[in-house]
Amino acid sequence: MKRKIIKIDKKLCNGCGLCVEACHERAIQMVDGKAQLVSDQYCDGLGDCLPVCPTGAIEIIEREADPYDQKVVDEKRKNEQKQEKKIPVCVCAGVMPRNIAREKAVLKPPQDTKEINNNLSDIRQQPSELQNWPIQLKLLNPGVEYLNNADILVMADCVAYAYGNAHQEFIKDRITIIGCPKLDDNEYYIEKLTEIFQRNSIKSITVVRMEVPCCSGLFQAVKTAMLKSETIVPYKEVIIGINGEIKE
């Protein structure tokens, strides 16, 4: 039958994976770093994936295609859920919630050349400003005590490597939550963040991501979670360039 269905231009696709998350039927998968329509039967032709594509690689066309089959889609979802349940859950000390106390450094003026050299050594060994553990969003317990009355930092995990002063400018005095919207399920991020915002009194939210298009899902997840949880607090967005500079 001839019907509406998506078409993906592999030359324009940058591999961000946002369309995979946007497709509720899971009709799109990443194959060799490019988005690909898995089966005509999975695509309903409504185009939920179009708005999230940053390069315009997806369009809706009319062509001969197998009809959309809701039963096949439902069966696929059930199989995926079964596979997820088979994955063993790790209960280990590494996910135990911890509030990390940091002593504030008191700087004194150097007295002699030897002390100046020591101070330079201290500068080279900047202490961590991390206040909490765990920091991965997937491992975080939404009901942990340190989330209440906290200034929240939601940060793409690459930022700490790309931006040298991440600890002093972003992590300091904030509860840190990190994740990767390209590698993880953004819908899961939205649900988890919504629960965190609903269960706790949040003072402020800062979101820091990389400039690459696939990282934009982090802003979307946080803002959607704020809307769903009706959280109204001071909110700030920061974008970090690949070269290590603040873009905005």
pLDDT in tens, 156-170: 999 999 999 999 999
Whether the per-residue pLDDT at 110 is higher than 60: the answer is no
Find out whether 5 and 61 touch, Cβ atoms under 8 Å. yes
Cα separation of 240 and 208, whole Å?
7
Q: Summarize the confidence of residues 137-144 as an average pLDDT.
A: 88
Contact status, residue 1 vs residue 65, Cβ threshold 8 Å:
yes
> How far apart, in whole angstroms, are the C-alpha atoms of residue 173 and residue 94?
22
Please provide the DSSP assignment of 60-116 as one string.
EEEEE-PPP-HHHHHHHHHHHHHHHHHSPPP--GGG--EEPP-PPP------SHHHH
What pLDDT was estimated at residue 135?
93
The H or E element that residue 220 is part of is helix 217-229
166-182 pLDDT, tens digit per residue, is 999 999 999 999 999 88
SS3 201: coil
